Amino acid sequence: MAEVLNSVVESIGRTPLVRLERLTAQAGVKGEILAKLEYLNPGFSKKDRAALG
């Protein structure tokens, strides 16, 4: 179950990352390729944290 937050402000700075395992395998690279899901930020932008501070 997903974490329930008390305020949208609590979600700032916690942008989800997704591991792209198939892309890593296809590219034949060692390590991991991660995608940061910026669209899940409260303001749909990486600038949310700057606005908070």
At residue 11, the pLDDT reads 76
At residue 48, the pLDDT reads 59
Spatial CA neighbour of 36 closest among 21, 11, 17: 17
pLDDT digits (tens, 9 = 90+) for 2-40: 788 888 777 777 788 899 999 999 999 899 999 988 877
At residue 41, the pLDDT reads 74
Beta strands in 1-53 (DSSP E): 17-19, 34-36
Residues designated as active site: 47
In the predicted model, is pLDDT for residue 50 greater than 70? no
In the chain, domain spans = 8-52
Contact call for residues 8 and 48 (beta carbons, < 8 A): no
At residue 18, the pLDDT reads 93
Taking the mean position of all CA atoms in its chain, how far away is CA 2? 14
With 0.85 as the threshold, say if the pTM is over it.
Answer: no
Spatial CA neighbour of 8 closest among 46, 52, 53: 52
